[in-house]
Structures are given as C-alpha cells and as structure tokens.
Chain A
Amino acid sequence: MQWETVIGLEIHAQLSTKTKIFSAASTAYGAEPNTQACAVDLGLPGVLPVLNQEAVRMAVKFGMAIEAEVSDYSVFARKNYFYPDLPKGYQISQMDHPIVGVGHLDIEVNGQTKRIGVTRAHLEEDAGKSLHESFHGSTGVDLNRAGTPLLEIVSEPDMRSAKEAVAYMRKIHELVQYLDISDGNMQEGSFRCDVNISLRPKGQEEFGTRAELKNINSFKFVEKAIFTEVERQKEILEAGGSIVQETRLYDPDKDETRSMRSKEEANDYRYFPDPDLLPVYISPELRAEVKADLPELPEAKKQRFVTDYQLEAEAANNLASSRPLADYFENLVKTSSCEAKICSNWVCVELSGALNKENLTISQSPIDFTRLAQLLQRIADNTISGKIAKQVFEAMWSSTDSADAIIEAQGLKQITDSGAIEAIIDKIITDNPAQVEQYLSGKDKVFGFFVGQTMKASQGKANPAEVNKILQGKLKR
C-alpha cells in the first residue's frame, strides 16, 4: 500500500521581551537558578499577573506578517495541571480566543511553492525547569524560565513530508527573527516544536490516527524524528495494526520515538478564562503602530533584490533569508562602488563560507561591512585582483587591519604597469621556446600556460586583463 504522511507542527517561539509575560523579572538566559524569579513567578499566595504589552505587540506583529486574522479581542485562560516546575499549578495560556487567528505561510520545496495554513498562534507563559541530576535522588526546580513569554504557532496538517515540515519550521524560524520578536536560539530552547504525524492510504481523504512528538529543538532532529516515526507507523499499519493516539518522545541518541502517555492518560486541563486578567483588546491605534513598524518581509525583499540588483533568484533568496545578512549585503552595496552581483557573491560565498566554518552568525562576523567594502573597492579600482582579494580577506578575518593596510604590508598591489608586465612576459617567452612553438602551430590551450606563468612570476599581482592583452600582442600567429 502507498501511504501518505500528514504532518502538523506546533512551534513554541520564545518572545524576546526584556521582562516576563506577567511579571517584571528579567528573561535573560543563563542566570544562576532561581535568581530571576520574583514573587509572581514563584506563584506565592496573593500575587497577581500583569500582562506585558510588549508580548502582545510582538504577537500582533507575527499575525500581520502571516496575513492572519488578528483578533480585536482575546482571552487568557488557565490550563490546570500539577508539576513542580509549574508554580501556580496552572499555566496561563489562551484557548478559545487566541490573539492570532487563521493565517498562512508559503514554503518552497524542490522548486515548488506550497502554502501552509496556520490555524492560530497564542500567547502563553513558559514553565520552569526540573533538574533531575545532582540532587541525590531529589529533583531540583529552577524557576528562572517560569513566566517567559511564548508564542505557540499551530499549523494546519498541511505538510506531507519531513522535508516540507523542516522547510516550514525554517520559514517560521526565519520569520520570527526577521520580525525581531524572537532570537530563535534553539540551543537555549527559545525555539522548539511538537510534531503531529499520521499516515493514511494514498487517496484517502480522512486523516489517520496521529501521534504527537514532543519538544524537538533542532531542524535535524525534526527531520529524523519524522522519518523514524513514519517508519514505525507504517510497520504497524502494514502488519494490520492500528495507531494509538498518544504523545511520544523522540530520543536522538537511539533515533527512536517512545510513548510518554496515551490519550486515556492525558490530562484534562480544565481550561477556563483567567479571572485575574482582563480580556485583551487590540486597538486600531496599536494595529496601525505595529503595521508601520513591520519590516520588509523575506519574500518582498527577495523580489526587490532580483529587480533592483539583478541578482539570481537563489542568491536573492539566500540573502533575504536573514535580516542581518540582507542588511549586511545592502550596506555593502551602498558603501562600496562594487557591482551588486560581486557584493552578493562575496557575502554568499566567501563570507558565509567563513562564518559557517566557525559557526558564527553574520552579526558575529569579524569583518564588518565597512571593512569588506574597502576590500571590494580595491577590486573595482584594479588595485588587486579577485584572487588576491581572497588572500587579503583571509588576513582580514584573523586581524583587525583594513584591507588597504594588508595590501600595503604584504605588497599585494596589482601590477598594472604594462612595462613591468611586458618585461616578465618577454622573459617567459624567451625561457619557453618549445611552448611558443606549440602555440604558434595552433595549440590554443598553451595560451593558458603563458598566463599562468606570468601570474606566477608576478606572484599573482599582474593585472590579468593586462597580461592577456600583452600576451596576445606578443604571440601573434
């Protein structure tokens, strides 16, 4: 039987507010346990939540970016369950009236664009962390993370492969960073997702029973977890079994998923509107403000790069995928008088390559756009060749020197003086009579030999155009 995979994602993006969603405690990552948990976060008797308006603004921004219905009226609800890292015994979340309603996002897989529906996105608070190690059989609780604002983004079951799921997750990841509403840091848990997977016979409309894979925090693991889970479900179905609706955990070390709890064991969360918080009304003023504040989105930026800078679609896509990268590129174009295509090449190939190698982001780049602009400027004005530029780039990477200083110090200036180049060429012609003979007898390829020799003799500094011109004059057939 041919099976079709059906996937829906619930993504939790931590919003990058300075303080928590319902208290004034800091959200900064990495502090000593329980040093960033105030009375409200600890759930002490008598404390009350006060909504962080910045979180609301960020959610509205996200809603607008995915062309979703942003509700005028939304309600916070209590989701009740007991756990030591959930101080109040309930999580403040949203149920019936989420802040962001139906929207969509386009992904590209194998050159095909596909529209993925977003069911809703709602605001909620994160729980704390239970630490099971190093407490001599007891469990420690760190409540620094308790009350951190999350935006839970729920997709429609619109994805049909691991590839689509990852493309969608990447797209959301890119978008929240673009909007500057989340740092998207997956190691720190700022961006994680639950994956709902089911199979159905190809052609069948009705969905199969799904399993939910909880809390996966890397693109790679999402992909692997889906493969593993699809295989597991396929095996069961093909053996005539049926899938149990349950929550499963993906173990990346063993590359397997295992059951956490079945539907029967699932909590009844007893949601009801939180009486401590008033409903949230989104005013037309706030809408207008957020709209004005909305950055150019990746898709629009990509189109503009193609039109304004004549970039290839792939390069434009590449650059537009990250706002700091796109900004870097545009600043580079503006500062250097280099062609946009050359700038794009340098950013996409040399710079990105070097960054990837050291696992750095563009904002951590040791070479800022002003320094790179000077380097590209020197290519444009023929001071150095593109090849030498790569050498200069490497030197710049590991120092703070300017391109000019390095060119000067290492004597890398291009030889454009035709007299000097002629002298080199004359010597090579004299030293290689056999090759001259071959070329003159019609072997075109040998021309390259002379270019190479000349460049070598000039330590790469001879202007290649000039070398070509002079060689062609001297080796006239």
Chain B
Amino acid sequence: MTIHTKTLKQLSQGLQTGEYSSQELTQAYLNRIQQHSTLNSFITVTETQAIAAAKQADALLAAGNAPLLTGIPMAHKDIFCTQGIKTSCGSKMLDNFIAPYNATVVDKFNTAGMISLGKLNMDEFAMGSSNETSFYGSALNPWADSTVPGGSSGGSAAAVAARLIPAATGTDTGGSIRQPAAFCGITGLKPTYGRVSRYGMIAYASSLDQGGPMAQTAEDAALMLQAMAGFDAKDSTSAQQDVPDYSANLNDSLKGLKIGLPKEFFDEGLNSEMATTIETAINEYKKMGAEIVEVSMPHLKLAIPAYYVIAPAECSANLQRMDGVRFGHRCTDPEDLNDLYIRSRGEGFGTEVKRRILVGTYALSAGYYDAYYIKAQKIRRLISEDFAKALETVDVIMGPVTPTPAFGIGEKTADPIEMYLADIYTIAINLAGLPAMSVPAGFIDNKPVGLQIIGNYFAEAKLLNVAHQYQQVTNWHQQTPKGFE
C-alpha cells in the first residue's frame, strides 16, 4: 500500500470510507519516519501517543460523523508547546523542557482529530534560514542531502517533502515557512499576522511570528489552515475576524486576476535561472487569463536592516525568561546568581541565538533606541504602505521566495550577513503582516524553486485559490524526491 504520497484530501476519503484505518495509516507513517531517520527531520517521535490517538480516531470514524481530518497523521514544529511532551524549540536550553500545556494550535488539531506523530526539527528558537542552528543538528533536504532544507521550519518542510507525514505546522517570522517550503518543493502558507493564535508558540519576535500550514498542495493547506485559524482569547494580538471556508473558493476562475510584479523582486540580486523559472510560472497565470501589472516597493531594500533590529530587539526580551531558574537548562553548581545566569544562558544558547540577543540588547539600549528601534519601526510602516499601495491596484503580488534554490550545508554559516540577505523576498511580508504562500514552481539543477504569492490582509482564501489553480495546470507539487517515492 503506497499511501504516503496521498494528499490530506485523499487520505480523508480513504479513512472515511474505511479503505484503511487510522491505526494502519499512523503505523505506515511511523515506519517511514523510522526508515528515514537519517533525514533528522524529527526531534521527538511520539509513537505511543500517536497509536493511542489513532485508536480513538478509528472509534470515532466507526461511529460516523468524525470531522474531516480525523485520523490523519501530521506533526508539529517543535516550537509549539505540547502537554507532557518535550518542547525544545531546537535548543539545548529547552532540551529538558516538558511543556505542561498545549499551544492553542495543538489543541485545535487535536479537536480536528489529527494524529500528531511528534515534534519537528527547526533552527534554534526559529532563528536561522537553514536548520543549521538546531541543537539537534540540521534536518537534511530530501532533494539533495548536501543542501539545507531551509529554515527555520526545516524539519517540517523536509518531513512533508519526504512524505514522512502528509502535512505539518510551521511558523514564519521572516520567511520560516515559505523559504523551507520553497527549498523542499512543498506548499507553505504564512497567514496574516493575528490569523492563527500564538498562544503556546514559543516566541521569537512576537510582532512578526505567525503559525501556518505546510503541505503538499494548496488544497491541503486550506484544510490545515481551516483547523488552525481563528480568534483566541488567550492571544491579545489574534484577530477577531471571522474564519471563512478556505476550501470554498479554490476553484474560482482567475480570469481578470491582477497580478502585481514588484520590479525590486526581479533586480540584479536574483539568480537568472530563478528569474526564468518565476517568469514561466507567471506565464501559466497569463494563460489562465490573469493580467500582469508592474508595481514598485521602493522601501524593500530596507526590509532586512529593519527586520534585523526589530526581531532581535523582541527576541532579546522574549528569551530573558530562559534564565535557568524555573525550567530549562541550568548550569551545575552555580556560585551565585550572576554565575547561574551567565553559565546557564551561555551554555544553553547557541551562537546565532546569542548573536541576535546581543544585537537586540544593543538596539534597545539607552542612547541607541531612537536611532535603531524607532527608525526600524518607521521603515516598517513605510514598507507596509508600499504593499498597501500596490494592493490597491492588484489582487495579489508575485515573485520568487528566495534568490537561489537551496544552498549547500555549511555554505553560508561562516557569514551570517550573507545568510540574512537571502531572506530579502520574504522578510518584508512579515514586517507588513500580510499573508503569503510558497508554491512549487519548478526545479533548477534538480533543486525545487518556490513561487511566492502575496495577498491583502486576511485574503488567505484568495491566495489558496490562486495557488490551487496553478496546481491544476502544473505538477511540480506532485514531484517526490528520489529515494522517497
């Protein structure tokens, strides 16, 4: 039985019609995870809990009226707190942290009946674009194990691409869903800021973090988002906005759709093969009746510097609770309080996390605050205005997700700035708080390439429609890496 290439939609049909049971399905995926453990996409596999949950799902399915996603396996990025299960956030600091509560997103997937198979690898505290900052070592890209899967949701992307799970959760602060989705050839959606509750999602940069789905298809991403989205009284920044039926408009025609192409997305920084691939994808939309409009994002180039002030500033405060006092790593035999702090944090955090804490602490310091933090916030507003202006005239904005396909392991670790610059096309969207998707759009040297689709606030249904229509006329999303067929 080769069920692992099936989509959520297909799996749901199989379960609801009794073609296979949730226990069979769960076991099949657990076996694949075991079989491909060298991919290092999982930090924790929760086999026992998964089998128990599958049993319950089967009972529910047998009784009829089980929700659509009942019994389908999935896994969470290890940034989401899961009650009674290690929630490491990819860090030595939380290697011993068993969360005593569930994130709202985790509760929601439990309610939807999905079976969590475990916790996925990620860059430490979601700080990284390659998965190489993980305390547990990098997950590998199933398309070429010498390249990175991207980050920070690299484990999620690698596991879905390798068909170890049909779908996963991820989080995106500066591209952490879209970039690994692009590198691994899967479909990823970063929702509008506030669409998905952040409660129980360990904070990196609170004003930018947003959870979202990672799946094979836009259709599946719609089903996942349906389960995740909604106002949460426990998250003051979650939006009190109705959740539409994300599957309802997937088949709407794209005739007359106005697609904006920011000229700044296609300048000299973009790899020429990448540009060609994206242009080919845009041509598909033209064939479907879409209109192309050139737009401009004059402040785009300021996105990276602004992001690398705001995100580190917020993370420097967010990570202060990791102090070795109440949970997490504590150094042995501290001499006094200062020693406890310095050694616990010094030992618990990795280099990239320390770098960002230092940058953020500096940016917030007396005498520098106005020059850095306040200025970065002003840039953030300008960038939002650029998008708002463009979205007055177009329905969606398109462009590449990354300047190049997946880079090699170790290729950019020596120069953090080079790593940061590779996030140029994704970061601005977080600063503006807009929703955006990464959709498989081809290959360069057998490495997947992602097309980015950006929409207006709360226009996730539109993005999914636009992505789904593309997936009706292309089959990039159905490609499975060699060795994982």
Contacts and interface: CB of A to CB of B under 8 A. Distances in A.
A43 B317 contact: no
B207 A48 contact: no
B236 A48 contact: yes
A122 interface: no
Contact of A45 (B234, B235, B321, B373): B321
B330 to A, nearest CB: 12
B100 interface: yes
A268 B320 contact: no
B317 A278 contact: no
B361 interface: yes
B364 interface: yes
Given A82-B320, A84-B337, A141-B325, A48 B99 contact: no
A365 to B, nearest CB: 43
Nearest to B94: A45
Contacts of B323: 82, 84, 89
Interface string B238-280: 0000000000000000000000000000000000000000000
A89 B236 contact: no
- Which residue, B202, B205, B236, has most C-beta atoms of chain A within 10 A? B236
B198 A84 contact: no
B199 A46 contact: yes
B100 A275 contact: no
A42 B314 contact: no
Given A141-B325, A275-B207, A49 B236 contact: yes
Interface in B358-379: 361, 364-366, 369, 373
A87 B322 CA distance: 9
Given A39-B100, A51-B236, A84 B365 contact: no
A50 B235 CA distance: 7
B178 to A, nearest CB: 21
Contacts of A44: 81, 99-101, 321, 326-327
B326 A45 contact: no
Given A272-B364, A276-B206, A45 B337 contact: no
Contacts of B199: 46-48
Interface in B340-371: 341, 361, 364-366, 369
- Which residue, A46, A87, A88, A275, has most C-beta atoms of chain B within 10 A? A46
Contacts of A47: 199-200
Nearest to A83: B337
A453 interface: no
A141 B327 CA distance: 13
A277 interface: yes
B103 A46 contact: yes
B81 A46 contact: yes
A270 interface: yes
A270 B366 CA distance: 7
Interface residues of A, number: 29
Contact of A268 (B100, B101, B327, B366): B366
B320 A45 contact: no
A270 B326 contact: no
Interface in A28-49: 39, 42-49
Contact of A46 (B201, B233, B237): B201
B321 A43 contact: yes
A270 B365 contact: yes
A80 interface: yes
A272 B320 contact: no
A78 interface: yes
A3 interface: no
B89 interface: yes
A80 B320 contact: yes
A50 B207 CA distance: 15
Interface in A65-119: 78, 80, 82, 84, 87-90
A45 B87 contact: yes
Contacts of B200: 46-47
Contact of A42 (B87, B233, B320, B326): B326
A272 B314 CA distance: 9
A46 B326 contact: no
Contacts of A78: 317
B461 interface: no
A40 to B, nearest CB: 9
A472 to B, nearest CB: 81
Contacts of A51: 236
B94 A82 contact: no
11 contacts: A43-B321, A45-B97, A45-B321, A46-B201, A47-B199, A47-B200, A49-B236, A270-B361, A270-B369, A272-B369, A276-B203
Give the 4 A-B CB pairs with smallest separation, nearest first. Answer: A89-B320, A275-B207, A270-B364, A275-B206
Given A87-B326, A275-B207, 10 more contacts: A44-B100, A46-B199, A46-B202, A48-B199, A50-B235, A78-B317, A82-B341, A84-B325, A88-B321, A90-B320
